[in-house]
Amino acid sequence: MTSYDTTHEMYEELAVGHALSALEPEDEQVFLRHLPGCAACAAAVSEHSETLTHLAYAAVSDSPPASILEGIRAGVAESGRSGAFPAPVSLDAARTRRRDKTVRATTAILGAAASLILVAALVLMNRGLQSKADQQQQATDKLNLVVKTLLVDGSREVKLTGSAGKAVVVVNGSKVSFAAAGLPTNDRSSSIYVLWAKSVSGGVNAVGTFDIRSGEPTVVNDLKVGNPNEVAAFIVTKERGRQAPALSTQPAVVEGSV
């Protein structure tokens, strides 16, 4: 058996738990007795506390650097835990088998660290979603402004919705204008968006193609539909290649009934 008391590695592990305030009282005592005489452990505690402060700061920051989130993801993956907090260390078992306790205490510390990291990651994720919601609201506001410029007397507005964004088709006789906002940019070397018109009889025809180059609203004018009175719905798909296929097998990005 490796000697419990002379292995400095143990104190290095306890330093993490100490910084997290996650040590069993017994371990805390052991560590506090050791700490005053050990510069390495004092430095470790200071370093871990600093890391935790950074994590806490990142959790409340409006724009956390992506690198922090990546680090957290890596940390969670490395710890092999997806957030389950470990069962408390059994003291009885610990007293009979100290080595066993060391291993389990270490697991508990890693678990505590992983849980804290997971909480920080969830907070960041929430912020990310919130900011995404704001972006989509902005995109919707801009889209509404653009659509106002497209609407003329006698034209009809067809709203297309989907999880990835919004679009509006303005139908004026057989002339069609299209505006989209919030859709993800496409790789212009290998993909293209296609606007389809689905007729009341079920036939689907490509009305036009377009690219999304930025987060700004995209407008396509001068499109045409064969018989506007026959159109039951408009659908946008993202296709491979640079042309509308005869038939799409891709899911709808946004769609809306006329």
Q: Which residues bind Zn ion (CB under 5 A)?
A: 11, 38, 40-41
User: 33 vs 148, which CB is nearer to Zn ion?
Assistant: 33
We find the least distance from the C-beta atom of residue 109 to Zn ion, in angstroms, to be 15
Alpha helices in the chain (DSSP H): 8-19, 25-34, 39-60, 66-79, 91-96, 98-150
We find the least distance from the C-beta atom of residue 52 to Zn ion, in angstroms, to be 19
We find the least distance from the C-beta atom of residue 31 to Zn ion, in angstroms, to be 9
Taking CB atoms within 8 Å and a gap of at least 24, the contacts of 181-184 are 181/139, 181/140, 181/142, 181/143, 181/146, 181/216, 181/217, 181/218, 182/135, 182/136, 182/139, 182/140, 182/143, 182/215, 183/212, 183/218, 183/236, 183/253, 183/254, 184/212
We find the least distance from the C-beta atom of residue 126 to Zn ion, in angstroms, to be 38
User: 20 vs 123, which CB is nearer to Zn ion?
Assistant: 20
Q: What CA–CA distance (Å, rounded) separates 3 from 7?
A: 6
User: 32 vs 74, which CB is nearer to Zn ion?
Assistant: 32
Tokens of 67: 């690198």
User: 13 vs 24, which CB is nearer to Zn ion?
Assistant: 13
We find the least distance from the C-beta atom of residue 44 to Zn ion, in angstroms, to be 7
Q: Compute CA distances 77 → 70, 108, 114, 118, whole Å.
A: 10, 16, 9, 10
User: 106 vs 209, which CB is nearer to Zn ion?
Assistant: 106
Q: What angle do CA 3, 4, 5 make, to 5 degrees?
A: 95
Instruction: Give the end-to-end CA distance of the chain in Å, rounded to a whole number.
Output: 77
User: 38 vs 204, which CB is nearer to Zn ion?
Assistant: 38
We find the least distance from the C-beta atom of residue 165 to Zn ion, in angstroms, to be 55
Tokens 């009809």 identify what position? 156
